[in-house]
Amino acid sequence: MTHLVVVGGSDAGVSAGLRAREVDPTAEVTVVVADAYPNFSICGIPYYVSGEVAPWQSLAHRTSADLEAAGLALRLSTRVTGIDVDRQRVALRTPDGSAERLDYDELVVGTGAHPAQPAIDGLGGARGPDGAGGLGPADGVHLLHTMDDAHALVASLTGRPVASALVVGAGYIGVEMTEALVARGIATTVAQRPAEVLTTVDAELGALVRAEVEAHGVEVLTGTTVTALARDADGRITATAAGGRLERSFDVVVVVAGVRPEVELLVAAGARTGAGGAVVVDETMATGLPHVRAAGDCVVTHHRLLGTTYLPLGTTAHKQGRVAGANAVGGRARFAGSTGTQVVKVFDLVAARTGLLEHEAVAAGFRPVTTQTSPDDHKAYYPGAHPITIRVTGDAGTGRLLGAQLVGRLGSEVAKRVDVLATAIFHAMTVEEVADLDLSYTPPLGSPWDAVQVAAQAWCREHRPATAVVLAD
């Protein structure tokens, strides 16, 4: 009988534990969770903050009772402080602060990531311009990554009058948090250092997202680097940006500037790091340390087009966790690889991408060319049709589909359409083969040639005229 210890109770860790029990029901699985929230949806935090999801316990994928019923022994509010690889045991700090050791036959580490803290004077542990300690949740300045972070933010929003908020960072979480604050009736400003919001899509599509955010009354400051935060005389937070682009006070500031892999535990045990500073693992999620596997946001990602990279995504963490858990109890699973498929709802718009942007494809050695089209989401004669802006990137030499980006109205099935293209990339299909797919059709939902096929045909006409498919009426 195998005793498996899992470090981390989020996507990768819980997936590992549950899969281990499926593969070997006799396995003893202990999951050590640093906080009191095992298997909570961190991706759902913006919807808890907005008030759309209540109570906060609804964010649990499974309750603690569910996990225990599945055979997982939970050690909550317990932190692993060290791994003794030779003795196959971990050092713990228990909720009362005492030290303990826990033996294992196999270990899976899913410590995830921590919020990136940009170089802003006065943020968190940084020293402010006046030499005082940095501002934190008690001051109304928040990083956002855990359930405790979410509770602290909601306390700031409800414990006193809040009329204005600044969001630093306009990536996925940044734009979602902007929407959440607007839903609470808070005048919101979002500041983004790059020249456009949502830099995971091309600027042309990011501009569509920015227009949607601005249409809902949000002030969007792109090309704006916040350099300092300080508490003013009335207890509000003054934010300063480089070049004088911002000098104003807000009631609340939320900083969402990405994440960094949480690797200290594994590195101290002897693991190597690679792309993005994440721990190197192979396709079986082995770290190179005996009996130690790792998965999720703390490890590198095997990408089907890029090779090894760092791409922290919840979907990837779930899959990697299952692989690690199966192999920890004798399985032979392999992580099949990511295509970087992502989607976000921004007010009444949905933006999605899969595969590579052009500059990423060039760096990977491809010869990318891109076509942009805006086909309707369903037949125009049926009421409510809306265009979906689709950018298709393919290889000029082989015709292989390399990437796609979509922006369309909520309800236009953008998420499912990007999934079609993600499937095509996963199986190394050409753009022309996408046009040949047998996809569903009924006038209220689509067209005889679906929007993704119209986009594929446009790419073929522009870049592979000899093999382009003729459009039907």
> pLDDT of the chain along its 473 residues, tens only?
899 999 999 999 999 999 999 999 999 999 999 999 999 999 999 999 999 999 999 999 999 999 999 999 999 999 999 999 999 999 999 999 999 999 999 999 999 999 999 999 999 754 344 444 589 999 999 999 999 999 999 999 999 999 999 999 999 999 999 999 999 999 999 999 999 999 999 999 999 999 999 999 999 999 999 999 999 988 899 999 998 889 999 999 999 999 999 999 999 999 999 999 999 999 999 999 999 999 999 999 999 999 999 999 999 999 999 999 999 999 999 999 999 999 999 999 999 999 999 999 999 999 999 999 999 999 999 999 999 999 999 999 999 999 999 999 999 999 999 999 999 999 999 999 999 999 999 999 999 999 999 999 999 999 974 444 444 44
Burial of 431 (0-12, 13-18, 19+ CB in 10 A): buried
Farthest CA pair distance, the chain: 73
Please, what is the end-to-end C-alpha distance for the chain in angstroms? 64
| Contact criterion met (CB below 8 Å) for 36 and 148 | no
Domain 137-257 sits in CATH at 3.50.50.60
Q: What is the pLDDT of residue 468?
A: 43
Q: Is 283 helix (H, G, I), strand (E, B) or coil?
A: coil
Domain 342-467 sits in CATH at 3.50.50.60
Structural domain spans, the chain:
3-112+260-328, 137-257, 342-467
* 3-112+260-328 and 137-257 in the same fold: yes
Q: What is the pLDDT of residue 471?
A: 46
Amino acid type, 469: V
Structure-token pair, residue 239: 């934010």
| Contact criterion met (CB below 8 Å) for 350 and 344 | yes
Nearest to 347 by CA among 238, 433, 230, 220: 220
Please give the angle made by the CA atoms of 180, 167 and 124, to the nearest 5 degrees.
120
Using only C-alpha atoms, the chain has a radius of gyration, in whole angstroms, of 24
Give the separation between CA 150 and CA 158, rounded to whole angstroms: 12
Q: What is the pLDDT of residue 125?
A: 54
| Contact criterion met (CB below 8 Å) for 136 and 126 | no
Q: Which residues contact 323 (CB under 8 A, 6 or more apart)?
A: 19, 283, 284, 285, 295, 333, 334, 335
Alpha helix (H) ranges present in 70-223?
Answer: 147-158, 172-183, 203-215
Q: In what order do the strands lie in the sheet with 79-84?
A: 79-84, 89-93, 99-103
Q: What is the pLDDT of residue 195?
A: 95
Structure-token pair, residue 456: 């594929």
DSSP strand pairing (219-222 vs 187-192): parallel
Give the residues across from 109 on adjacent strands: 7, 294
Structure-token pair, residue 361: 């494809």
Q: What is the pLDDT of residue 133?
A: 58
CA atoms 11, 13, 14, 16: torsion sign = positive
What CATH architecture is 3-112+260-328?
Answer: 3-Layer(bba) Sandwich (3.50)
- pTM of this structure: 0.93
